[in-house]
């Protein structure tokens, strides 16, 4: 059974959590390896293209998903049109995805892509707010976590920091616990701690 609560999924191969893909791969380990390679390439590409004029708008965000995964998945760069949940967390309803996304990116633009926060604590707090909003948005069928962390890493580098080190929280339940707080209680305290401890210049 899929751990993802989608009925008659157009995305996953019959009952598995392997997404239907352009290479007809059904082995979960193989697909994870390919996704990992594509993500590493994307980090290199987008970090090398980053410059003072980079705009962290919705188009840029969608393009990260599209450019990273379009060789593998038809759904790359496309918002989902089904409601999705994980565990007890209901992500943004599909009908509000567009308007919610526009609201988030318009706030980020007003915050001048976080350049107005000139110390690490304030920066981490505000970045946690946006990361939490994107976690709750969950706009794509798959690969939301990896793409929104790529987006936040690029924002961090844009603001003079290194990509955020999530190793203390990502391979255990801590990042998920922090995500649950964001989605179910709009509380970014735990996520803020994770980001602050992984943030360095
Ligand atoms: N029970 C939950 N409640 C709230 N948010 C959750 C829950 N489980 C996972 N998430 C969030 O969803 C993200 C995973 O979404 P998705 O599977 O689309 O992305 P991914 O890139 O494939 O996964 P991952 O982030 O684990 O690498 C997690 O990073 C986390 O932020
Ligand atoms: Mg996933």
Nearest atom, ligand 1, residue 146 CA: 21
How far apart CA 109 and CA 99 sit, in angstroms, is 15
Ligand 1 contacts CB of residue 188 (under 6 A): no
Q: Taking the CA atoms of 167, 169, 171 and 175 in sequence, report the sign of the dihedral they define.
A: negative
Give tens-digit pLDDT for 149-178. Answer: 999 999 999 999 999 999 999 988 999 999
CA of 176 to the centre of ligand 1 (A): 7
Ligand 1 contacts CB of residue 154 (under 6 A): no
Ligand 1 contacts CB of residue 180 (under 6 A): yes
Average pLDDT, the chain: 95
**pLDDT-wise least confident of 8-12, 155-159, 160-164, 184-188:** 8-12
* Ligand 1 pocket test, candidate residues 179, 190, 194, 195, most atoms within 8 A of CB: 179
Q: What is the mean pLDDT of residues 80-100?
A: 97
pLDDT band for 95, please (50, 70, 90 cuts). Answer: very high
pLDDT band for 85, please (50, 70, 90 cuts). Answer: very high
Q: Does position 6 have pLDDT exceeding 60, yes or no?
A: no
Give tens-digit pLDDT for 112-132. Answer: 999 999 999 999 999 999 999
**% of the chain residues with pLDDT over 70:** 96
28-198 folds as Fic-like fold (1.10.3290)
Q: Is 114 left (phi over 0), alpha (psi -120 to 50) or beta?
A: left
Tell me the domain boundaries of the chain: 28-198
User: CB of 195 within 8 A of CB of 128?
Assistant: yes
Ligand 1 contacts CB of residue 133 (under 6 A): no
CA–CA distance from 74 to each of 11, 22, 171 (Å)? 9, 7, 28
Q: What is the mean pLDDT of residues 74-100?
A: 97
CA of 189 to the centre of ligand 1 (A): 18
How far apart CA 163 and CA 53 sit, in angstroms, is 19
User: CB of 134 within 8 A of CB of 104?
Assistant: yes
Q: Does position 1 have pLDDT exceeding 50, yes or no?
A: no
């Amino acid at each position: 059974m899929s751990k993802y609560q989608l009925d008659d999924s157009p995305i996953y191969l019959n009952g598995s959590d392997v997404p239907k893909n352009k290479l007809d791969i059904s082995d979960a380990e193989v697909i994870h390896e390919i996704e990992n390679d594509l993500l590493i390439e994307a980090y290199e590409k987008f970090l090398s293209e980053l410059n003072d004029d980079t705009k962290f708008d919705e188009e840029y965000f969608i393009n990260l998903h599209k450019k990273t995964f379009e060789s593998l998945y038809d759904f790359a760069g496309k918002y989902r049109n089904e409601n999705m949940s994980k565990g007890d967390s209901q992500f943004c309803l599909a009908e509000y995805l567009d308007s919610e996304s526009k609201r988030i990116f318009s706030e980020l633009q007003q915050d001048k892509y976080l350049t107005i926060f000139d110390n690490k604590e304030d920066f981490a707090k505000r970045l946690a707010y946006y990361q939490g909003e994107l976690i709750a948005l969950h706009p794509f069928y798959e690969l939301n976590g990896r793409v929104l962390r790529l987006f936040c890493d690029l924002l961090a580098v844009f603001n003079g920091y290194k990509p955020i080190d999530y190793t203390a929280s990502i391979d255990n339940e801590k990042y998920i616990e922090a995500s649950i707080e964001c989605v179910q209680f709009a509380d970014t305290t735990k996520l803020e701690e994770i980001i602050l401890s992984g943030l360095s210049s």
